[in-house]
Amino acid sequence: MINFIRKTTASDSARIAGFNKSFAGQLLSGRIGTAIKWFLAAYALNILIAVPFFLSRASGTTSAWYSFPLDDTWIHLDYVRGIVTQGCLCYNDGVWEGGATSWAWVLLLSPFYAIFHLGLGLSVVSVVKFVGLAVGAIITIFVYKLAKRITNNHRVAMIIAILVALEPTFAFHRISGMEGVLVVAAVLGITVALLNQRWWLVGFAMAVSFLARPEMALFFAVVYPVTLLLWLRTSGEGTLAAIRDLAMARYTDDPETQTQSSISTLVQGSGRLRDIAVALGLPVFVMAIWMTYNQSINGTIYPNTYLVKHDATLPTLPFGNARNLFDAAMAEWQPWLSGWKFPVVVIAYGFGSFYALNKLGAAAIPLLVSPLVILFGAAKGERFENPFIVFISRRYVDPTAPLIVFGTLLGAWAIFVPYRDHIVSRFPTVSARAVRLTPITGLVVLAIIATTFGTLGKWLQLTEDYSWNTQNIHEVDVLAGMWLKENTPEDAEILVFDAGALRYFSEREIIDVVGLNSREFMGREHVDVMFSEEPDYVAIFSVPQYEQMPHAEQLAYFEAPHNTILGFGEVGIWGMDWSSGVFADSEVFTGVQTSGEVIDMIVTTDTENEVAHDYRIEFVGYAPTTAGYVNGGDIAILDRGIAISGFEEFTIAAEAGKDLELVLRYRATLTQPAVSNVTVDGNLAATINPPVLDLEIQETSVRIPAEFINSDSVKVRIDWNMPITIFRWWSVIPQN
């Protein structure tokens, strides 16, 4: 590989007899031709590295060839198809949407989808995977160029580029169909463009990075301006100093002379200021378009992804979220940071960081800081406590892997070279072999082993995972989508749960209850969406709300017996009959038998009703809408409730001197019920011990003796000893 690439210079190719006489020969012998040949060599390397994944048969199938390891790739392709066939950034046909997490990835895939899939009929899976490998080739070239610039050694740069490409988690990512490859290419591109002073490319690479992953907007807001400022300070020919002197000229002994001198310096450096303006202005312009689009779609400047997956329970400050940050790092870096490899990698990466800063100056900042930004963004939106971290979580931090390996390998070289030069200069008679056998050289070798051969176990695991993941996605999501296309009418509405393949293969209108691809349902519970929208079909993981529905018939079921990637490992498809008349009036309780008279009712999510009853609660969780079944599952009730975990207090109608029965509609999710005290007008009057049946609405009642009822209105307080969702209270005067 090294010798092949060495032969790809323009001068070498010109020596090929007769080749330069043709137009193709003249093209390939020039600067463009050299770039093409470098790209082809890097592309071949990336394809070669992907072969173990493609050949893996751990699942007993060849699914690695015809499937993706994550359903989210199909979501990208839903938007790609929307651009190519509908002319809009849409999930459902003709409906503009904000669920495209990675604009950059979708826009990049679109022309390849149009030309190679729709035009030439190639498999869409193959097209996307080979685009990912092409971006991987660009990353390899960038790594080589930066390593060559830093080490000034062609062979070392080539070895570093190959070893970075061999990092297993990112080798997996390159053929996953996911957008992480663009993030790495953009970060490296910023540094390469800065070093070559291609300012519009600097701005373009920055714009691509945050259009590839939303968390890179933080990089743009903080790290990028600092990088440009430091670059201007160190190579701006006094521009920053001139700006400062101009501002302070009025306070000097000779303001006029100082002003003229500063202006002269600024004029000379105006080209540099213009360059910085381009580097800042281009991504600002792109981000403004991005934010404006989001605002027009969902009413905020953020994409649907952030609104749906942003975890408000995770602290914003990095140190407040330290545990999850650490878990996120270990989810990705565990192969290099376990056992003896931990100190070796940390030391080498530290040396590599200083080495890069020394050689590249401010241009090295994106390489060193972007892994932290990516980690922070991932840890804010995803929990990594689970010791069994799979690609569905790890994909967010995958882009950090090649950057960390790159820094570690640079550090190995940075440690070795000064030591070698020192030994040789001090002891001229010492042979090169003796230098190679010293402890310092051993540390360098260990650093290389830790990031390469030390990951062999990870290679074996990930090739197996790739086979199983692709098989899981195919046997559940893809086959379910195909079933929907073959067995449902073209105008069918199908309710799904954040699904890509179901939409792509069914080609039906989809109601995404998560809200990622159907913004109007964001924040609503899926059963509420189901009852309000009345879809023709439901295609979702199996839960009691669907299995017991008297108006739903299960038509198909798809399961992954050996599940390694799917959240629930299954998809059930139900046909819905909304004309069956099995729905009960939510204002009437049906699960409690009483012959009494209802004289009052509290509706917990009706503000006017709550105010009228002096309703107060402790710990408002959220106000979900849910559905459940009572009376043996033959009646469905849709109602709204509010989640609490402390006291509940209200005023409700009664009749003085008569027993009062309070009927409660609730949902509780504990496996064991808990006894709670009920006080009336400050006196302990009863206890309530509601039965618990997870996920279902239930109704129960508590009898308040007449001795506690002294007026036609009583103040009731329940000190709940369990989390509970309260829907309604009824005040009933029993007849017996």
pLDDT at 21 exceeding the cut of 50: no
Higher pLDDT, 443 or 325: 325
Q: Average pLDDT of the chain?
A: 81
Statement to judge: residues 637 and 493 lie in one domain = no
Looking at this protein, which amino acid is placed at residue 145? K
* Residue pair 541/568 in contact by the 8 Å Cβ criterion: yes
Q: List Cβ neighbours of 179 (8 Å cut-off, separation of 6 or more).
A: 76, 101, 102, 104, 105, 212, 213
In this prediction, residue 25 has a pLDDT band, given cuts at 50, 70 and 90, of: very low
H-assigned helices in 67-123: 72-81, 103-112
pLDDT of residue 260: 59
Mean pLDDT, range 486-515, rounded to an integer = 92
pLDDT of residue 16: 34
pLDDT of residue 185: 97
Statement to judge: residues 630 and 678 lie in one domain = yes
pLDDT at 317 exceeding the cut of 70: no
Mean pLDDT, range 550-578, rounded to an integer = 86
- Determine the 3-state secondary structure of 425 from DSSP: helix
Statement to judge: residues 285 and 392 lie in one domain = yes
Bridge partners of 664?
A: 700, 729
pLDDT of residue 549: 65
Statement to judge: residues 142 and 31 lie in one domain = no
Q: Which of 350, 399, 349, 408 is CA-nearest to residue 370?
A: 399
- Determine the 3-state secondary structure of 723 from DSSP: coil
Rounded CA-CA distance 97/474 in Å is: 26
Residues of the chain with pLDDT > 70, as a percent, come to 74
pLDDT of residue 618: 79
Rounded CA-CA distance 591/133 in Å is: 60
- Averaging pLDDT over each range in 367-371, 393-397, 453-457, 694-698, which range is the top one? 367-371
In this prediction, residue 620 has a pLDDT band, given cuts at 50, 70 and 90, of: low
Total domains present in the chain = 4
- Determine the 3-state secondary structure of 323 from DSSP: helix
pLDDT at 293 exceeding the cut of 50: yes
Q: Counting beta carbons within 10 angstroms of the beta carbon of residue 136, is it exposed (0 to 12), middle (13 to 18) or buried (19 or more)?
A: buried
* Residue pair 700/667 in contact by the 8 Å Cβ criterion: no
Statement to judge: residues 401 and 485 lie in one domain = no
CA atoms within 13 A on the CB side of 631: 13
Mean pLDDT, range 213-217, rounded to an integer = 88
In this prediction, residue 107 has a pLDDT band, given cuts at 50, 70 and 90, of: very high
pLDDT of residue 680: 95
Rounded CA-CA distance 566/309 in Å is: 17
Statement to judge: residues 145 and 218 lie in one domain = yes
Statement to judge: residues 339 and 382 lie in one domain = yes
Q: List Cβ neighbours of 74 (8 Å cut-off, separation of 6 or more).
A: 68, 477, 478, 499, 500, 501, 503, 504
In this prediction, residue 420 has a pLDDT band, given cuts at 50, 70 and 90, of: low
pLDDT of residue 722: 83
pLDDT of residue 13: 38
In a domain, 463, yes or no: no
Q: List Cβ neighbours of 44 (8 Å cut-off, separation of 6 or more).
A: 1
In a domain, 47, yes or no: yes
pLDDT digits (tens, 9 = 90+) for 161-172: 999 999 899 999
Rounded CA-CA distance 87/448 in Å is: 48
- Determine the 3-state secondary structure of 558 from DSSP: strand
Instruction: Please give the structure tokens belonging to residue 31.
Output: 């600067």
Q: Counting beta carbons within 10 angstroms of the beta carbon of residue 461, is it exposed (0 to 12), middle (13 to 18) or buried (19 or more)?
A: middle
Rounded CA-CA distance 668/23 in Å is: 76
In a domain, 105, yes or no: yes
Instruction: Please give the structure tokens belonging to residue 714.
Output: 């009583």
Statement to judge: residues 30 and 168 lie in one domain = no
In a domain, 424, yes or no: yes
pLDDT of residue 1: 41
In a domain, 467, yes or no: no
Rounded CA-CA distance 86/733 in Å is: 62
pLDDT at 544 exceeding the cut of 90: no
Question: Beta strands 493-496 and 509-512: pairing type?
Answer: parallel
Of 435, 451, 467, the one marking the end of a domain is: 451
pLDDT at 137 exceeding the cut of 50: yes
pLDDT of residue 12: 40
pLDDT of residue 386: 57
Higher pLDDT, 482 or 435: 482
Rounded CA-CA distance 140/145 in Å is: 9
pLDDT of residue 314: 46
Question: Could you say which DSSP state residue 652 is in?
Answer: E
Rounded CA-CA distance 98/520 in Å is: 11
pLDDT of residue 681: 94
pLDDT at 563 exceeding the cut of 60: yes
Higher pLDDT, 527 or 647: 647
Statement to judge: residues 479 and 443 lie in one domain = no
In this prediction, residue 3 has a pLDDT band, given cuts at 50, 70 and 90, of: very low
Q: Which of 73, 64, 32 is CA-nearest to residue 500?
A: 73
Mean pLDDT, range 713-729, rounded to an integer = 91
Of 403, 435, 451, the one marking the end of a domain is: 451
Instruction: Please give the structure tokens belonging to residue 541.
Output: 């993981």
What is the CATH number for 630?
A: 2.60.120.260
Bridge partners of 733?
A: 597
Looking at this protein, which amino acid is placed at residue 112? F
Higher pLDDT, 71 or 446: 71
pLDDT of residue 532: 78
Q: How many Å separate Cα 467 from the centre of its chain?
A: 22
Rounded CA-CA distance 398/169 in Å is: 7
Statement to judge: residues 442 and 518 lie in one domain = no
pLDDT at 434 exceeding the cut of 50: no
- For residue 431, report the phi and psi dihedrals to the nearest 5 degrees: -80, 160
Q: Counting beta carbons within 10 angstroms of the beta carbon of residue 637, is it exposed (0 to 12), middle (13 to 18) or buried (19 or more)?
A: buried
How many residues belong to the chain?
736
pLDDT of residue 237: 46
Of 382, 416, 451, the one marking the end of a domain is: 451
- For residue 60, report the phi and psi dihedrals to the nearest 5 degrees: 80, 10
Question: Could you say which DSSP state residue 717 is in?
Answer: E
H or E segment and range at residue 599? strand 597-603
pLDDT at 240 exceeding the cut of 50: no
In a domain, 73, yes or no: no
Question: Beta strands 713-719 and 647-653: pairing type?
Answer: antiparallel
pLDDT of residue 705: 95
Rounded CA-CA distance 574/487 in Å is: 12
Mean pLDDT, range 207-231, rounded to an integer = 89
* Proportion of the chain in helix, strand, coil states, percent, rounded to 5: 55, 15, 30
Statement to judge: residues 518 and 387 lie in one domain = no
In a domain, 457, yes or no: no
Across 230-244, 540-554, 585-599, least confident range: 230-244
| 607 Rama sector, left if φ>0, alpha if ψ -120 to 50, beta otherwise | alpha
Mean pLDDT, range 57-69, rounded to an integer = 94
Statement to judge: residues 564 and 625 lie in one domain = no
Question: Could you say which DSSP state residue 453 is in?
Answer: G
H or E segment and range at residue 602? strand 597-603
Higher pLDDT, 113 or 360: 113
Domain span at residue 424 reads 101-451
In a domain, 466, yes or no: no
pLDDT digits (tens, 9 = 90+) for 516-535: 888 888 877 777 787 778 89
- Averaging pLDDT over each range in 75-89, 392-406, 580-594, which range is the top one? 75-89
